[in-house]
Structure 1
């Protein structure tokens, strides 16, 4: 049954969430333009290809008539009011639009951006409880300076952890940071060689630069700072700003924290200017990667619309993923299509 909700356009019916779109239905409503492309058919006629979305997902849309005229009316990141017909293309719901114009009413952008399913205030409380276990006075003071910085924390609780891969929704950075901190807490006792407080502090600080790297409105995207510098460099700069206001912060400790931020991607090809060069930095890279990939792959499986037991071929991981839990003795074969070599590329 189709579900309608409170987003309403002028004279239009209530908005239908993307996740509730059904085939062969006339729809109308407000949607965020995530991607806008203009093209030409084989016959030489212009057409408009759009990716529209709300907080429940994305849907492809096409304009075949008046494409050039309508394309001039709006930009990516804006809300448009549409009318159209849903259809199925390659087993995916797609829209063919018969009407399109910029939205004439002010809307809450939170309705159009996906957000964490977690409770943000509760996650923040849980994070603070973990960080309160730190007894090193220098680390404790440094972390408190970040937690007491209201502009920083407002952004920290809202921005995603990434644009396209893991925790790619509002509140994602907080959720990811909490996940990595929990892994730090649970991992350290297994290895007496590790400094558990340094690892936990690094887990909290490793992605702070994403507060400046990513922006949420009108849609999730990179800021100019993010594109030019990246969150590793931005994070070190933010760390240095806090350290300068602290008295007698140990130089060696500051150097190690900076290295943990710069090296937490692990490899040059993944964006780190330095590879991890001490135990806590190496451990941080591993637990960060674990949390990111588990959530990223879970998201791929959850959002996959392919029929059957396997997802569509995932280009990022160069493989299919098996959906569902263990269900007995069923023998599930690889789907026909692109074969994967399990040794070709490790995570």
Structure 2
């Protein structure tokens, strides 16, 4: 490719494809992860993840690179302007970084800059929050409803903005709200099939199951775990919130114990972070819905970020597999075909 080819200004990473291979481009990206490592020769290098609202890529930057000091200065969560060459490795975007500089506060405040960097759910967050509050009010048991309401009076504003994870599922602004509303919708749809499940306990458990993540995660542009998140984890933090507000609302001991158990067991398996296995009808129900929506959240995000030229996504750790991202062909039903042929 000729050296004098004009610089491509990229406003979303998803627009780059293999046809652009070798082409120089410029983009403004957030440093989502920045980990210093040591090579076998003793030299320091960075393992970096850079991204915008449409996607991200990972690369290695050695200490003799022009980008090294700029990344070090900006730090994790910082925003940089990069110049690079498009490159794909095993079907994944893996550009070769060149000139890199950190954005100033004034540049960050320019219209549209932050909006282009922060991934958000496809649904309106304001509408999601309104629907979420309606689910709280749908809890018929007074003390249970007061317990849930009390938790969100304490953490509601943070909860509304929090991601549901650092990387696995719903890992973007408002992702925790989206995940919880989707679970509540599934709960409402599935409850008629399982009369053994107490509806109020199940719904309260769903609304509270991940509340500890509002404390576990921190960061505006790049999400990382807080001190309490590392030392206690969201399962314990959520249990503490449920217990605190259950006692305050004078929730009876039987329901409080069952509600706490839902929070403690919702991760399903101890190796996934559960404190205990689900051992009540409501806890099993909530755990299964959580697992379903977490995995479908991975599917939905991969489909949103899929390029037109890629048949499969990159490997999704939560699914242990790449995802087929091509839509099912719209083939007429066999009966209709026979009618046409006849």
Same fold (TM over 0.5): yes
1:34–1:52 Cα contact (<8 Å) kept: yes
1:62–1:95 Cα contact (<8 Å) kept: no
| Mapping for residues 326-345 of structure 1, pairs under 5 Å | 326-327=328-329
User: For 1:165, which of 168, 174, 180 is the aligned residue?
Assistant: 168
Taking structure 1 as the reference length, what is the TM-score of the superposition? 0.80
| Mapping for residues 1-347 of structure 1, pairs under 5 Å | 16-21=11-16, 23=20, 24-36=22-34, 50-61=48-59, 65-66=65-66, 69-70=69-70, 72-106=72-106, 107=108, 109-147=114-152, 149=153, 152-246=155-249, 248-305=250-307, 307=309, 309-327=311-329
Q: Which consecutive residues of structure 1, in runs of 5 or more, have no partner in the other structure?
A: 1-11, 330-347
Q: What secondary structure sits across from 1:157 in the alignment?
A: helix
* Segment drifting more, 313-322 vs 208-217: 313-322
Alignment root-mean-square deviation, CA: 3.0
User: In the TM superposition, what is the alpha-carbon distance from 1:44 to its structure 2 partner?
Assistant: 9.9
User: In the TM superposition, what is the alpha-carbon distance from 1:99 to its structure 2 partner?
Assistant: 1.4
> What is the count of residue pairs matched by the alignment?
315
User: In the TM superposition, what is the alpha-carbon distance from 1:38 to its structure 2 partner?
Assistant: 6.1
* Segment drifting more, 228-237 vs 184-193: 184-193
- The corresponding residue for 1:333 is none
- Describe the shift of the 1:35–1:193 C-alpha distance in structure 2 as closer, same or farther (beyond 3 A): closer
Q: Deviations over 1:272-312 (max 9, x none)?
A: 11111111111111111111111113323443459553344
Q: Deviations over 1:158-205 (max 9, x none)?
A: 001111111111111111111111111111111222211111111111
Higher RCO structure (Cα 8 Å, ≥6 apart): 2
Structure-2 separation of matches of 1:57 and 1:81? 16
- The corresponding residue for 1:343 is none
Q: Which consecutive residues of structure 2, in runs of 5 or more, have no partner in the other structure?
A: 1-6, 332-342
Structure-1 separation of matches of 2:216 and 2:260? 17
Structure-2 separation of matches of 1:222 and 1:15? 30
1:306–1:312 Cα contact (<8 Å) kept: no
